[in-house]
């Protein structure tokens, strides 16, 4: 009995010993897996030929696997027979603790290194650049390269002065002429805490780009503005932006230079690493991207730009990019995986009509309209430019120039050309009218205003108002009527006037019969639009009817009155577009009274002086205002 109890006690001790050894082995395996990661642990065990030992049932095999892993010795085939397992495990536990301590120290050091690098990144980057420059200069500089450097420095010192147009660009709000309303609207839209993208409409040379720059400068100082003091203003001409189907170059959005065809940097190309090249949308981050003539951009490129505007980031792709490649610099990995910030405000300028701009752009943008300049504005611009350039001009110079141009840029060109002519005689003299006319003749310029109002009424002659771009001008219409030769009269008019004019003539014939009780077919009528130009839109309908009526009934028409409006077959005057510009154009031509559709009253410009603007609903309301002696 005593022997049995003693034997049982020894078996219990041996079992407890076995359990204690297995727990220590399991704990070590778990620690190693935690240290290297599951994948790293398996790879290390495979490399050291320990996979089968780990999965073995013999406890000594598992200890041998631990020894291989910790001592990194794949040649071990058995444990040392003279050393017991407890002693071996003690040593292996010490090795494991040392590995943990080393890893913890490396992590702490890596963290401190990263913090130091982030704190002194710019300094390190500058030092590296200087080192590279010094290294290259020591390896590649020679007499020929030094000579080329000297030539470049000489060119820097001997360049031309700033152009006159650059000097004449307004630097302050007070220097902007004729665009007070547009500039205020632009400043208001940028100074808000929630600015939207903007499209600027207007004729060329009226200051759209200049106003955008000034508005940003003012918005930077506004209390509610989101723009920083260093917010960039990136300017590009939309006519130069074209979509590259190969996507090898894209100055607007950016592109990727692959290591084979597009020529990535040498150190990247040698490693087969693609190099992203950032575009203007990234340069404009935090500021303004100004695209002049945005309506001229490729539609596909416009769609790409819209995507960037929505995402506020630009993304790059390349078949050469391998995210698992450790040789790829971190900044390139970040660009390909996360994209590049492109949070900017777009200001697009165009000389096109709003209907010609992509609806997708218009739906995302606020709209600001710039006004055509009046002759008074042109004269003021000429006077200011002469003062800023130190040019003496005769009093009538500004008035003469205003007759040949609609915008400030063209006015300054004439002024500078005339000033150059005065310099050719050997001394600085005053710019006289003869110099201006000579400059105008040399440039083959025609008067901007071709038709002018007069005080003498005429039969069969009336002024309509047309619109070309953003500039309104008079359209001279004339009609002559004779009793019909034969059973049915004929109506003749310009074939080049367009289909809209044909419809307007047909409507006028119907209204004539309705108003007068007999058909226009009793007459041979010839209607002529002087100049033969195409008339877009139906806005000349009312003028055509009044010219025909004047010719048939021999009623003189006042020549200081102009009319714009579509004529319906019921005799109603229907609304038309471009009323603002048409009124300004009529005013420039000396018109004293303008008749417009009643529905266009909201389009009447505020503050226009020297011209009466009368809205009418029906063509009969025009008779006492157009025909001399009627209703007076």
For residue 139, is it within any domain? no
- Give the pairing type, strands 593-597 and 561-563: parallel
Of 539, 550, 564, 574, the catalytic one is: 539
Residue 135 counted as domain residue: no
**Same domain flag for 587 and 473:** yes
- Tally the domains of the chain: 4
Q: Provide the edge-to-edge strand list for the sheet that holds 561-563.
A: 491-492, 523-529, 471-483, 461-468, 561-563, 593-597, 612-616
pLDDT for 106 equals 78
Does the residue 450 lie in any domain? no
Residues 238-277 pLDDT 10s: 888 877 666 667 888 888 877 655 555 555 655 667 788 8
Residue 205 has pLDDT above 90, yes or no: no
Tell whether the model's pLDDT for residue 203 goes beyond 70: yes
The yes-or-no verdict on residue 4 having pLDDT over 60 is no
Do 383 and 466 lie in one domain? The reply is no
Q: How far apart are CA 463 and CA 473, in angstroms?
A: 10
The pLDDT score that the predictor gives to residue 6 is 42
**Does 346 lie in the same domain as 220?**
yes
Residue (of 588, 208, 205) closest to 408 by Cα position: 205
Cα gap 320→375, rounded to integer Å: 61
Strand partners of residue 366: 198
Using the predicted structure, report yes or no on whether residue 7 has a pLDDT greater than 60: no
Tell me: do 522 and 611 sit in the same domain.
yes
User: Per the domain annotation, does 531 fall within a domain?
Assistant: yes
Domain that holds residue 382: 375-442
Of 321, 336, 369, the residue that ends a domain is: 369
Q: Which residues contact 242 (CB under 8 A, 6 or more apart)?
A: 298, 301
Residues 401 and 427 both lie in one domain: yes
Please check whether residues 306 and 330 belong to one and the same domain: yes
* Contact assessment for residue 371 and residue 178, using Cβ atoms and an 8 Å cutoff: yes
236, part of any domain: yes
Of 117 and 35, more confident: 35
What is the rounded CA–CA span in Å between residue 175 and residue 384? 9
d(C-alpha 111, C-alpha 423), whole Å: 71
Final residue of a structural domain among 310, 341, 369: 369
394-444 pLDDT, tens digit per residue, is: 889 889 998 888 888 889 999 989 888 887 765 567 888 888 898 889 888
* 413 shares its domain with 463: no
The CATH number assigned to the domain holding 282 equals 3.40.50.300
By the 10 Å C-beta count (0-12 exposed, 13-18 middle, 19+ buried), 518 is classed as: exposed
pLDDT score at 43: 79
pLDDT tens-digit series, residues 11-63: 444 445 555 788 888 888 888 877 777 887 787 778 778 887 777 778 887 88
Instruction: Name beta bridge partners: 461.
Output: 478
Q: Is 185 found in the same domain as 59?
A: no
Per-residue b or e along 484-501, where b marks 16 or more CB atoms closer than 10 Å to that residue's CB:
beeeebebebbeebbebb
Instruction: Decide: helix, strand or coil at residue 347.
Output: strand
Rounded to whole angstroms, how far apart are CA atoms 442 and 31? 91
- Run of H or E including 332: helix 330-338
Q: Distance between CA 322 and CA 415 in Å, rounded?
A: 61
Q: Which has the higher per-residue pLDDT, 18 or 94?
A: 94
Portion of the chain with pLDDT greater than 90, in percent: 20
Strands 313-314 and 288-292, sheet pairing: unpaired
What is the distance, to the nearest Å, from the Cα of residue 218 to the centroid of all Cα atoms in its chain?
A: 20
What would the pLDDT profile of 487-546 be if each residue is shown by its tens digit?
788 888 876 666 677 788 888 889 989 988 888 888 899 988 887 655 656 788 899 999
Q: Give yes or no for a contact between 273 and 297, defined as CB atoms under 8 angstroms apart.
A: no
Question: Does residue 493 or residue 160 have the better pLDDT?
Answer: 493
3-state secondary structure 547-612: HHHHHHHCCEECCCEEECCEECCCCEEECCCCHHHHHHHHHHCCCCEEEEEHHHHHHCCCCCCCCE
- As a whole number, mean pLDDT of residues 153-162 equals 69
CATH of the domain at 594: 3.30.230.10
Average of per-residue pLDDT across 476-493: 86
Q: Identify the band that residue 233 occupies on the pLDDT scale cut at 50, 70 and 90.
A: very high
Total residue count of the chain as it appears in this document: 632
Nearest to 374 by CA among 585, 208, 578: 585
SS3 84: coil
Q: Same domain for 181 and 289? A: yes
Q: What is the DSSP string of 465-529?
A: EEEETTEEEEEEEEEEEEE-SSSS--EE--GGG-HHHHHHHHHHHHHHHHHHSS-GGGEEEEEEE
CA dist 600 and 579 (Å) reads 7
- DSSP-derived 3-state class of residue 49: coil
Cβ within 8 Å of residue 69, ≥6 positions away: 32, 44, 45, 48, 50
Residue 154 lies in a domain: no
The predicted-structure confidence for 293-328, as pLDDT tens digits, reads as follows: 998 888 888 888 999 999 999 988 887 787 887 777
Beta strand pairing call for 561-563 and 461-468 = parallel
Helix axes 2-36, 59-71, angle to 10 degrees: 30
Residues 587 and 373: their CA atoms lie apart, in Å, by: 12
Tell whether 329 and 234 lie within a shared domain. yes
pLDDT at 428: 60
199 band by pLDDT with thresholds 50, 70 and 90: very high
**Strand, helix or coil at 165?**
helix
For residue 480, pLDDT over 90 is answered with: yes
Classify residue 333: in a domain, yes or no.
yes
As a whole number of angstroms, the distance between CA 445 and CA 230 comes to 43
CATH, residue 434: 1.10.8.60
* Predicted local confidence at residue 263, as pLDDT: 52
Q: In this structure, are 412 and 483 located in the same domain? A: no
Given a contact cutoff of 8 angstroms between Cβ atoms, the answer to whether 354 and 381 are in contact is no
Among 579, 629, 582, CA closest to 599 = 579
CB 190 within 8 A of CB 345: yes
Q: Which of 369, 399, 429 is the last residue of a domain?
A: 369
Determine which helix (DSSP H) or strand (DSSP E) holds 218, and give its type and residue range.
helix 208-220
| Average predicted confidence (pLDDT) for the chain | 81
Location of structure tokens 């009447």: 604
**How many CB atoms sit inside 10 A of residue 214's CB?**
21
What's the pLDDT at 132?
Answer: 64
* Residue 42 covered by a domain: yes
Three-state DSSP state, 424: coil
40 token code pair: 């790293």
Give yes or no: 539 in active site.
Answer: yes
Q: For the chain, what is the largest distance between any 2 Cα atoms, rounded to a whole number of angstroms?
A: 154
Does one domain contain both 412 and 335?
Answer: no
DSSP string, 191-207: HSSS--EEEEE--TTSS
| Averaged pLDDT, 104-126 | 74
H-helix or E-strand containing 369? strand 365-369
Residue 2 pLDDT grade (very low, low, confident, very high; cuts 50, 70, 90): very low
Determine how β-strand 365-369 pairs with β-strand 593-597. unpaired
Map residue 631 onto helix, strand or coil.
coil
| Three-state SS at 374 | coil
Report the Cα 618 to chain-centroid distance in Å.
Answer: 45
* The residue to which tokens 């890596």 are assigned: 110
Using 50, 70 and 90 to split pLDDT, how confident is the model at 173? confident
- Does the active-site annotation cover 582? yes
Neighbours of 363 (CB within 10 A): 8
At 269 the pLDDT is: 58
Tokens encoding 225: 């503005």
The answer to whether residues 88 and 67 touch, using CB atoms and an 8 Å cutoff, is yes
- pLDDT given for residue 349 in this prediction: 92
């Amino acid at each position: 009995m005593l022997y049995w109890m003693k034997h049982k006690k020894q078996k219990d001790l041996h079992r407890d010993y076995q359990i204690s050894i297995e727990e220590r082995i399991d704990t070590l395996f778990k620690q190693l897996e935690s240290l290297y990661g599951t994948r790293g642990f398996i790879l290390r065990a495979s490399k050291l030929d320990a996979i089968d030992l780990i999965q073995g049932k013999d406890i000594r095999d598992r200890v041998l696997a631990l020894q291989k892993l910790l001592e990194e010795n794949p040649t071990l085939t058995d444990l040392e027979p003279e050393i017991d397992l407890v002693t071996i495990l003690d040593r292996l536990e010490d090795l494991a603790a040392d590995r943990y301590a080393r890893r913890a120290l490396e992590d702490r050091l890596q963290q401190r290194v990263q913090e130091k690098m982030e704190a002194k990144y710019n300094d390190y980057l500058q030092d590296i650049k200087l080192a590279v420059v010094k290294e290259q200069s020591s390896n590649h500089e020679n007499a020929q390269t030094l000579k080329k450097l000297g030539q470049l420095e000489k060119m820097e010192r001997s360049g031309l002065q700033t152009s006159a147009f650059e000097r004449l660009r307004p630097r302050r709000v007070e220097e902007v002429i004729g665009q007070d309303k547009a500039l205020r609207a632009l400043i208001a839209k940028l100074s808000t805490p929630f600015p939207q993208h903007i499209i600027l409409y207007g004729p060329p040379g009226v200051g759209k780009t200049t106003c955008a720059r000034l508005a940003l400068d003012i918005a930077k100082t506004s209390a509610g503005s989101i723009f920083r003091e260093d917010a960039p203003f990136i300017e590009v001409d939309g006519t130069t932006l074209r979509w590259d189907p190969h996507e090898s170059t894209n100055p607007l959005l950016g592109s990727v230079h692959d290591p084979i065809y597009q020529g990535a940097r040498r150190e990247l190309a040698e490693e087969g690493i693609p190099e992203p090249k950032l575009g203007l949308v990234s340069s404009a981050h935090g500021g303004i991207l100004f695209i002049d003539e945005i309506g001229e951009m490729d539609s596909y490129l416009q769609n790409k730009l819209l995507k960037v505007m929505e995402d506020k980031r630009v993304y790059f792709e390349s078949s050469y990019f391998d995210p698992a490649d450790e040789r790829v610099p971190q900044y390139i990995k970040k660009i390909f995986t996360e994209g590049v910030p492109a949070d900017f405000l777009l200001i697009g300028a165009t000389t096109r009509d709003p209907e010609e701009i992509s609806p997708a752009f218009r739906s995302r943008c606020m709209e600001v309209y710039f006004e055509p300049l009046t002759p008074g504005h042109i004269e003021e611009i000429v006077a200011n430019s002469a003062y800023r350039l130190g040019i003496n001009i005769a009093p009538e110079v500004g008035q003469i120039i205003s007759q040949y141009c609609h915008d400030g840029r063209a006015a300054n060109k004439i002024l500078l050309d005339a000033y150059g002519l005065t310099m050719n005689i050997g001394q600085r003299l005053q710019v006289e009218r003869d110099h201006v006319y000579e400059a105008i003749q040399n440039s083959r310029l025609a008067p901007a205003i071709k038709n002018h109002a007069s005080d003498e009424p005429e039969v069969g002659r009336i002024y309509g108002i047309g619109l070309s771009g953003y500039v309104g001008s008079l359209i001279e219409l004339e009609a002559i009527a004779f009793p019909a030769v034969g059973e049915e009269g004929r109506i003749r008019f310009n074939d080049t006037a367009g289909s809209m004019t044909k419809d307007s003539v047909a409507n006028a014939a119907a209204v004539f019969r309705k108003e007068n009780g007999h058909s226009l077919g009793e007459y041979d009528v010839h209607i002529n639009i002087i100049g033969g130009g195409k008339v877009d839109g139906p806005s000349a309908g009312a003028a055509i009817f009044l010219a025909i009526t004047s010719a048939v009934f021999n009623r003189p028409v006042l020549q200081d009155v102009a009319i714009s409006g579509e004529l319906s077959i019921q005799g109603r005057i229907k609304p038309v577009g471009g009323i603002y510009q048409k009124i300004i154009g009529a005013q420039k031509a000396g018109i004293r009274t303008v008749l417009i559709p009643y529905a266009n009253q909201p389009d009447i410009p505020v503050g226009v002086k020297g011209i009466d603007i009368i809205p009418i609903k029906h063509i009969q309301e025009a008779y006492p205002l157009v025909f001399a002696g009627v209703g007076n």
